[in-house]
């Protein structure tokens, strides 16, 4: 069952990750891509690529691409067709090798309702649940609505009271149908202060199964994980053994082959745990397991697909140190973590900071609405959990990034919080700790970043000058006013004045002194009032991204003469993110109350409800159902009551 060419039926950082391990094994890789990904990094890293006509869900075209290129095996990655049993069967029917568990296991575990029944038969505890909304009260509110056919936060809603149940079920069903092609949902007991603990399993075709310990994935927003780690600060050796044995027993009952994950929900107070689901694929957060065990899970998957034995037993598995992963997203933490779009004007990790970057983008890449807005997974491993957390926070702080809003500052704030270092990482971490969403760009912070930008720009102008290029910036033989540049960061503005001195330093603003030690197009080594640092700087048209010791400032160069702008319409509601209008709840003349849902938008297969912020009446309606909107589009005007 050996193979030397692998087709990867996925995209982005997933495909890049698989390509790396396959290349390390001497296996050539074939990528498939849609038009939106024509310039993506994974297409460039693959040895060859085939364009798909419409979608990564087109299984016939993907199999045809494997046959055309001579690929003997297909790796589905995670997401898309990775847990599609029919695709798995079709791959095998065509005489190709499927990298993953067999279709029987995918079918039984892909349906969360069937998976619960099988878990109970294997002696694994499960949470109370029902498929009948009328019986939700018997479980007790709050409850959690979940999609039967999928995960990743899609089709999931927390419902606090009975009156919100009907609308939440309808919304979850729409999202589930869009994401998985199956609108079935069920209602489960909701455990507030809990932890999501998952056990990594590996099984081969010879009956051998081991677990590689646990990962904790409790810190989530919008029911999606953002920080994961191994080992968990909550799990002791006894709990690890109990959960590990439960996972292995279930895997053996399933005759599981390949890599997989058994997810559990743990009551933080009692340590009681319940089965949630089995993910019959590689997980996004698998690198933290690799960090503490030293095992390459993609390598193991490919070996198992070749029919090889694991070659080790449970007693041979060892764990060393701590590994933590953060998911860097294009999203706005200050706006309910809604997805953001744009072009990465700057994207440059610091090569001097030790961290693993699993990414599918590069500087110049466009983050659009077609796919998940994850930019990278950033992973740090240390001798202790504190070391790993500090290294990860420093790696994120040292990243030079701009052009799209990200959750970088929020991740750093979370990792540096006292609660995180104490291991208080329950599922309500964000609500309890309320980490800083972004670094405020006001006052001295904005002035310092703008000063760096102004002096870097004067260097750029000198460097690009075709005449008198040897004369220092701002040189004069008479009394002239200081040079001036104005910048805007979000809603804040800063004006910087500077003038060169005889010794080459600069009078800056009101009383500050700046000295440039080195200037180059990629950045500036500068000292301002005794504080010296090197700032990476990237300019794109009238936008300047300046990397400071605490992160990046994205500045807009303001024109010298500003034309009058249009006023924002009073009562206007705007789209909080780019997306498609999938439901419109009002019409012109509709009376609304504060909190009423007015519009439902969909982006990245997730729904967002735009609600009324006050009582009033709809006087203008500027959108229609199925409209594709840009971020900030005016939706309607609601006149206050």
Rounded Cα distance, 227 and 382, in Å = 16
According to DSSP, the β-strands at 48-51 and 28-33 are parallel
Of 149-158, 246-255, 291-300, 463-472, the poorest mean pLDDT is in 463-472
Three-state SS string across 14-54, please? HHHHHHHHHHHCCCEEEEEECHHHCCCHHHHHCCEEEECCC
Question: Token pair of 92, please?
Answer: 């095998």
Kindly calculate the radius of gyration of the chain based on its CA atoms and give it in whole angstroms.
27
Kindly indicate the confidence band of residue 578, based on its pLDDT and cuts at 50, 70 and 90.
confident
- The mean per-residue pLDDT over the stretch 93-121 comes to 91
**pLDDT at residue 611, rounded to an integer:** 87
Give the 3-state secondary structure percentages of the chain, helix then strand then coil, rounded to 5. Answer: 30, 35, 40
**What sign results for the dihedral spanned by CA atoms 590, 593, 596, 598?**
positive
- Please say whether the beta carbons of 595 and 612 come within 8 A: yes
Instruction: Give, in order, the Cα–Cα distances in Å from 273 to each of 230, 464, 484.
Output: 18, 64, 63
The 10 Å Cβ neighbour count of residue 557 is: 18
**pLDDT at residue 312, rounded to an integer:** 97
pTM (two decimals): 0.84
Kindly indicate the confidence band of residue 223, based on its pLDDT and cuts at 50, 70 and 90.
confident
- The mean per-residue pLDDT over the stretch 224-237 comes to 96
Q: What is the DSSP letter of 315?
A: G
Which long-range CB contacts under 8 A does 413-418 form with residues at least 24 apart? 413/437, 414/219, 414/227, 415/227, 415/324, 415/326, 415/389, 415/390, 416/389, 416/390
| Residue tagged 């568990």 (tokens) | 101
**What sign results for the dihedral spanned by CA atoms 147, 153, 156, 158?**
positive
Kindly indicate the confidence band of residue 253, based on its pLDDT and cuts at 50, 70 and 90.
very high
Beta bridge partners of 194: 267
Q: Do 128-189 and 572-640 come out as alike in CATH topology?
A: no
Q: Where are the domains of the chain?
A: 5-99, 128-189, 194-433, 443-557, 572-640
Of 31-40, 152-161, 352-361, the poorest mean pLDDT is in 152-161
Question: Token pair of 229, please?
Answer: 């780690």
**Cα dihedral 359, 363, 365, 367 in deg (nearest 10):** 70
Architecture of domain 128-189: 2-Layer Sandwich (3.30)
DSSP letters for 242-303: HHHHHHHHHHHHHT--EEEEEEEEEETTT--EEEEEEE-S--TTHHHHHHHH---HHHHHHH
Of 94-98, 102-106, 391-395, 629-633, the poorest mean pLDDT is in 629-633
Kindly indicate the confidence band of residue 310, based on its pLDDT and cuts at 50, 70 and 90.
very high
**pLDDT at residue 79, rounded to an integer:** 87
pLDDT digits (tens, 9 = 90+) for 509-560: 988 999 999 999 999 999 999 999 999 999 999 999 999 998 999 999 998 7
Q: 258 burial class (0-12, 13-18, 19+ CB within 10 angstroms)? A: buried
Question: Token pair of 37, please?
Answer: 């990904």
Rounded Cα distance, 19 and 16, in Å = 5
Q: What is the CATH number of domain 5-99?
A: 3.40.50.20
Q: 47 burial class (0-12, 13-18, 19+ CB within 10 angstroms)? A: middle
Q: 517 burial class (0-12, 13-18, 19+ CB within 10 angstroms)? A: exposed
Q: Across the chain, what does the average pLDDT equal?
A: 91
Q: What is the CATH number of domain 194-433?
A: 3.30.470.20
**Cα dihedral 423, 429, 434, 437 in deg (nearest 10):** 90
Q: Is the pLDDT of residue 369 over 90?
A: no
Half-sphere exposure of residue 392: CA atoms within 13 angstroms, side-chain side: 35
DSSP letters for 121-162: HTT--B--EES-GGGHHHH-SSEEEEETT--TTTT-EEE-SG
Rounded Cα distance, 546 and 54, in Å = 39
DSSP letters for 154-191: TT-EEE-SGGGHHHHHHHHHHHHHHHHS---EEEEE--
- The mean per-residue pLDDT over the stretch 42-66 comes to 97
| Residue tagged 């006292």 (tokens) | 418
Query: Which has the higher per-residue pLDDT, 475 or 215?
Result: 215
Which of 331-345, 375-389, 591-605 is the most confident on average? 375-389
The phi and psi torsions of 368 (rounded to 5 degrees) equal: -110, -165
Q: What is the DSSP letter of 547?
A: E
- The mean per-residue pLDDT over the stretch 108-134 comes to 86
Closest CA to 375 of 12, 9, 5, 20: 12
pLDDT digits (tens, 9 = 90+) for 584-628: 999 999 999 988 889 998 876 678 888 888 899 999 999 999 898
Q: What is the CATH number of domain 572-640?
A: 2.40.50.100
Which residues, in sequence order, are CB contacts of 371 under 8 Å at separation 6+? Answer: 11, 12, 36, 604
**pLDDT at residue 466, rounded to an integer:** 62
Rounded Cα distance, 382 and 288, in Å = 11
Rounded Cα distance, 145 and 190, in Å = 9
**pLDDT at residue 480, rounded to an integer:** 58
**pLDDT at residue 563, rounded to an integer:** 47
Q: Is the pLDDT of residue 493 over 70?
A: yes
For residue 142, is the peptide bond before it cis, meaning its omega torsion is within 30 degrees of 0?
A: yes
Q: Is the pLDDT of residue 179 over 80?
A: no
According to DSSP, the β-strands at 5-8 and 73-75 are parallel
Kindly indicate the confidence band of residue 344, based on its pLDDT and cuts at 50, 70 and 90.
very high
Q: Is the pLDDT of residue 291 over 50?
A: yes
- Please say whether the beta carbons of 106 and 88 come within 8 A: yes
Q: 3-state class of 394 per DSSP?
A: helix
Closest CA to 605 of 574, 580, 572: 580
Which active-site residues does the annotation give? 281
Of 92-101, 263-272, 292-301, 348-357, the poorest mean pLDDT is in 263-272
According to DSSP, the β-strands at 634-640 and 616-621 are antiparallel
The CATH classification of domain 443-557, taken from the options 3.40.640.10, 3.30.450.40, 3.30.700.30, 3.30.1370.60:
3.30.700.30
Half-sphere exposure of residue 289: CA atoms within 13 angstroms, side-chain side: 27
Rounded Cα distance, 435 and 418, in Å = 10
């Amino acid at each position: 069952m050996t193979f030397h060419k692998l087709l990867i039926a996925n995209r982005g950082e997933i495909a890049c990750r698989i390509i790396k391990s396959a290349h390390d094994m001497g296996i050539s890789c074939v990528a498939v891509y849609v038009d939106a990904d024509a310039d993506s990094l994974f297409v460039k890293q693959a040895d060859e690529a085939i364009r798909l006509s419409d979608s990564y869900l087109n299984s016939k075209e993907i199999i045809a691409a494997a046959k055309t290129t001579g690929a003997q095996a297909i790796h589905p990655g995670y997401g898309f067709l990775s847990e599609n049993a029919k695709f798995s069967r079709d791959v095998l029917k065509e005489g190709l090798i499927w990298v993953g568990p067999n279709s029987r296991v995918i079918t039984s575990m892909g349906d969360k309702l069937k998976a619960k029944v099988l878990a109970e038969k294997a002696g694994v505890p499960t949470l109370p649940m029902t498929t009948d909304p009328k019986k939700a009260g018997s479980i007790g509110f709050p409850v959690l609505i979940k999609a039967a056919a999928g995960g990743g936060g899609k089709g999931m809603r927390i419902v606090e009271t009975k009156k919100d149940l009907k609308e939440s079920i309808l919304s979850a069903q729409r999202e589930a149908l869009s994401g998985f092609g199956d609108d079935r949902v069920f209602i489960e007991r909701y455990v507030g202060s809990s932890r999501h603990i998952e056990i990594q399993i590996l099984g081969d075709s010879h009956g051998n199964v081991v677990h590689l310990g646990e990962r904790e994935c409790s810190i989530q927003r919008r029911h999606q994980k953002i920080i994961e780690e191994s080992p968990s600060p909550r799990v002791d050796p006894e709990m690890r053994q109990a959960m590990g044995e439960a996972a292995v027993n279930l895997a053996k009952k399933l005759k599981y082959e390949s890599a997989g994950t058994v997810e559990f929900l743990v009551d933080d107070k009692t340590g009681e745990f319940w089965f949630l689901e089995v993910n019959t694929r590689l997980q996004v957060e698998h690198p933290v397991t690799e960090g503490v065990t030293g095992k390459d899970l993609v390598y193991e998957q490919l070996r198992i697909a070749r029919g090889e034995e694991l070659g080790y037993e449970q007693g041979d598995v060892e764990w060393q140190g701590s590994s933590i992963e953060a998911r860097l997203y294009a999203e706005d933490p200050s706006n309910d973590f809604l997805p953001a779009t744009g072009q990465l004007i700057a994207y440059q990790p610091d090569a001097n900071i030790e961290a693993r970057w699993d990414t599918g983008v590069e500087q110049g890449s466009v983050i659009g609405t077609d796919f998940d807005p994850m930019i990278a997974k950033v992973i740090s491993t240390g001798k202790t959990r504190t070391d790993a957390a500090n290294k990860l926070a420093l790696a994120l702080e040292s990243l030079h990034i701009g052009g799209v809003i990200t959750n970088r500052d929020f991740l750093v704030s979370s990792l540096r919080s006292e609660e995180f270092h104490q291991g208080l990482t329950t599922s309500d971490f964000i609500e309890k700790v309320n980490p800083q969403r972004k670094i405020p760009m006001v006052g001295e912070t904005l002035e310092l970043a703008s000063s760096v930008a102004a002096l870097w720009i004067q260097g750029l102008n000198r460097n690009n000058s075709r005449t008198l290029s040897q004369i220092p910036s701002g040189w004069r033989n008479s009394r002239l006013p200081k040079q001036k540049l104005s910048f805007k960061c979000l809603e804040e503005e800063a004006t910087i004045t500077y003038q060169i001195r005889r010794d080459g330093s600069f009078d800056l603003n009101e009383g500050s002194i700046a000295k440039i030690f080195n200037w180059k197009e990629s950045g500036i080594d500068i000292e301002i009032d005794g504080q010296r640092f090197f700032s990476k700087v990237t300019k794109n048209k009238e936008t300047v991204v300046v990397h400071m010791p605490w992160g990046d400032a994205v500045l807009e160069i303001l024109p010298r003469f500003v034309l009058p702008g249009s006023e924002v319409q009073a009562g206007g509601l705007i789209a909080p993110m780019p997306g498609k209008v999938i439901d419109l709840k009002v019409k012109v003349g509709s009376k609304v109350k504060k909190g009423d849902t007015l519009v439902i938008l969909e982006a990245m297969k997730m729904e967002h409800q735009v609600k009324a912020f006050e009582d009033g009446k709809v006087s203008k309606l500027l959108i229609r159902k199925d409209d594709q909107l840009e971020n900030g589009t005016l939706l309607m005007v609601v006149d206050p009551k």
